[in-house]
Structures are given as C-alpha cells and as structure tokens.
Structure 1
Amino acid sequence: MAHRGYHTAGAPENSVAALAAAQALEIYGSEFDVWVTADGRIVINHDKTFPGDSHVIENSTYDQLKNIKLSNGDIAPAALRADGIRGIDYTFSTISVRPDWIREAHDNGMVVNTWTVNAEQDMMSCIALGMDFITTNYPQTLKELLTKTFVVPN
C-alpha cells in the first residue's frame, strides 16, 4: 500500500496526483485521508487544513475550498469521485453515524470497508448497512454471520 499515495516522487501527499502515481506503479492500493466539509462533501487531505490555507475543512463548505491550489498546481479538495479511486474505509464508529456515506460511495461505484469490527452486533449492523468489506479480529464469527439471512426493517 502506498501511504498517502506515491508522494515521494514529487506529488503532494493525499493528492489526486499522488494517488494516480501509485496507480501507475500498479501498487495494490493507497492509504489516504479524507475529511467531510460542513456541507457534506468528502475531500482528500491529511490535515484539517490545506497547506497554506487557514480554512478548517470540516467547518468550511466545499465552495469555500474548491479553488485552493496545491504545490503542484492541482486543486486541493479533490472529490473522491476522481478516476481510479475505487473505495473508502472508515472505523465502525464513524460509518455507523454516517450510513449515508455507504450509499453515496455505492452510487459512485466505490466499495466500502470498515474496521475493526469485533462485536457480533456490530458485524450484523455492517451486514445490514450493505458494507462491502468488514475488517475484524474474529473472521470465523463474521463468516458464520454472512451465511445467515437477516430481515432488515424498512
């Protein structure tokens, strides 16, 4: 996995250019960080602000951030729909309070992973939410749950 994309070759960390560079190397995947803007847009960045800018991402709207430029000239708050980004992952505590992100990711052709889900009830919640991947320390328990049929209330 390329940590924050392939940025050691000159692209800024967590930028679309760094993710594309890792993809060009045919790396299995890239770890990168995301933030959610005040109006619910998911953007790529490591820190709570972009380099050289004072706007706190989670307190700012996408429109307030959309023209910030990175050192390579890329627009900073690249939305996750950029080419080559195939999935997202979050801790269970994060995704459980924002299940709409699962639908949004699926609507954009992305898969969703969550970690580290060890409680059986949490595993069942992930299954009911339509999680694509569930990272757990108890794979046998998860495997058994995946063979069962659950009724999900409307």
Structure 2
Amino acid sequence: MILKTLITLCCLSIGTMYTHAQNMEFLTNKVIAHRGAWKAAPHPQNSLASLQEAIDLGCEGSEFDVWMTADGILVANHDADHKGMLIEETSYAELLEAPLSNGEKIPTIEAYLRHGMTQHQTRLIFEIKPSGISKDRGREIAEKSVKLVKELGAERWVDYITFDYDIGLKVLEIDPQANVAYLSGDKSPAELKEDGFFGFDYNINKLKEKPEWISEAQSLGLTINSWTVNKEEDMRWLLDQDVDFITTDEPEKLFELMRNMK
C-alpha cells in the first residue's frame, strides 16, 4: 500500500513538471507588437497595459524601448524625452511627477520584466536605445541591462535589439548566449553572423531594397524581422518571404491577415 502511494505521488509530480514545461513554451506566430499593443485598445506606448494587451492578444513578442535616467534607473519610453524631460538628464523621481495618460508611472525595466515574467507565451523584445550623451554611456546601459536580466532570471524571456552596433557587441560580450538582433540596416547577414548576432531587424524599405539579404540570412541560420510594418501589402510580402518576425503597430490586423491567408 505504501509503495502504491509513493508511485502515485511520483506520477503526479512528474505530471505536474510536464504540465509546467508545456506552459513554458513561447508562441511562434511571427507577430511582434511594437511598443506593446497600444493602438487599437488604446494604451500608452511602452506601458505595462500595452504589454499586457500584447500578451492577451497572443503576440509572439512585445517590443519596448530602454533608456537610463540621470541617476542610473533603466526605464521604458520610446522617445529620448518624457513629456519634455530628457530622460538621460532627469532623475527617476522627477519622471514620476508626470504619469502616463492612463495614470501609470513611467515603468522601470525591472517592473516591466517582472510583469512579463508572470506569463510564458510572449517574449520580451528589449530594445537598448543609443545614448545621446556618449558611446561609453551606451555600453554602460548595455551592461546594466544584461545584469538586470540575469539577476531576475529573465534570460528565457528576453531577446535584445539595438540600433547601436557597439551596444549589441557589448551585450554579446557579457552574455554570448543572448539573442541579439541589429536594427540599423547597414550590416550584411555575413557580418552579423561573424560577430555572433542572432539576426537582423531591418526596416521594411531596406529589405525591399535588398531582398537578397533575406535568403542570405536564412542560409546562414539568422533570424529575420522587419519594422514597422502596418500596411497589409507589406505584411503579405514579408509573409511570402517566410520571415521569422514582423514588428507592427497593428498586431490585430496582422493576426487577421494570417488567418485569412490559411
């Protein structure tokens, strides 16, 4: 009887572990919400509400933009300024005096990551913005970003993107296993592969100008993303190219298009 009970408990434990493992599977549907899902709802861009909306929609990823305040706090905001205050020259306490339109405070990256880690379906696309102060500060932001991700145990959730090549290289120096994609469009797939990048995330116009980079990246095992894709004709073109991801302000439209194309 005791042996039977132990076997039953063991089976239940294994079943629980298996269920948890299943729940850790991230979605793979190509849809990346640009600054969260903010347009149709609407929510403030880069807010926790826009992140949650992207999660609720079932997006594969939700992109957010990372800056560092004058007192060293990493925050999510698209522009270099928040309501007229230059983030890099302003303390976090001062930024808190100007809430977002929905009443949220400008989120710290720690709060953003912690919120994203409450689920296991939508990846967090961590864009490290180039510093307007210096290249050294940009590399410092990269260091602080990777350190925070590691401290929180968020590596599984996070893919990095950046317009600053040196920032991307710094992330890879600190964490060679990190997924890092480049945004600026001035590096070939071969160059990215040689330097250890995960892939590229180029503007739709750059990919139309150099469509051969798509097949070259695929042959090298690099991922392909494109931004910011809001026109149906561009979405269709990228889907026909079988790119890995599409970053859009209108994830609802992209989901509908993909359903109709099946």
Q: TM-score, normalised by structure 1?
A: 0.70
How far is 1:128 from its partner? 4.0
Counterpart of 1:88, as a letter, is: F
How far is 1:21 from its partner? 0.6
**Aligned mate of 2:87, from 23, 36, 57:** 57
Q: Please give the per-residue CA displacement for 1:22-72, whole angstroms capped at 9, x wherever unaligned.
A: 01111011122221101111111111222xx33211101111112321111
Mark the structure with the bigger radius of gyration: 2
Counterpart of 2:139, as a letter, is: V
- Quick check: 2:62–2:125 contact (8 Å CA) kept in 1? no
1:97 aligns with 2:139: yes
Structure 1 CA distance for aligned equivalents of residues 161 and 33 of structure 2: 19
Q: Which residues in structure 2 correspond to 1:21-36 (within 5 Å)?
A: 21-36=53-68
The match for 1:129 is 174
Distance of aligned partners of 1:63 and 1:130 in 2 relative to their CA distance in 1, 3 Å threshold: same
Distance of aligned partners of 1:48 and 1:89 in 2 relative to their CA distance in 1, 3 Å threshold: closer
Distance of aligned partners of 1:128 and 1:16 in 2 relative to their CA distance in 1, 3 Å threshold: same
Structure 1 CA distance for aligned equivalents of residues 96 and 60 of structure 2: 29
Structure 2 CA distance for aligned equivalents of residues 65 and 127 of structure 1: 31
SS of the residue aligned with 2:109?
Answer: coil
- Quick check: 2:61–2:125 contact (8 Å CA) kept in 1? no
Report which structure shows greater RCO (CA 8 Å, sep ≥6).
2
Q: Count the aligned residue pairs.
A: 137
1:16 aligns with 2:48: yes
Counterpart of 1:5, as a letter, is: G
SS of the residue aligned with 1:106?
Answer: helix
Could you list the runs of 5+ residues in structure 2 that have no partner in the other structure? Answer: 1-31, 118-123, 183-188, 198-262
Greater helix share, 1 or 2?
A: 2
Range that drifts further, 134-143 or 61-70: 134-143
Distance of aligned partners of 1:114 and 1:6 in 2 relative to their CA distance in 1, 3 Å threshold: closer
1:7 aligns with 2:38: yes
- Quick check: 1:41–1:62 contact (8 Å CA) kept in 2? yes
The match for 2:102 is 72
Provide the aligned C-alpha RMSD in A. 3.2
Distance of aligned partners of 1:62 and 1:91 in 2 relative to their CA distance in 1, 3 Å threshold: closer
Structure 2 CA distance for aligned equivalents of residues 45 and 91 of structure 1: 10
Among all aligned residue pairs of Structure 1 and Structure 2, give the percentage whose two residues are the same amino acid. 29
Could you list the runs of 5+ residues in structure 1 that have no partner in the other structure? Answer: 144-154
The match for 1:151 is none
- Quick check: 1:12–1:18 contact (8 Å CA) kept in 2? yes
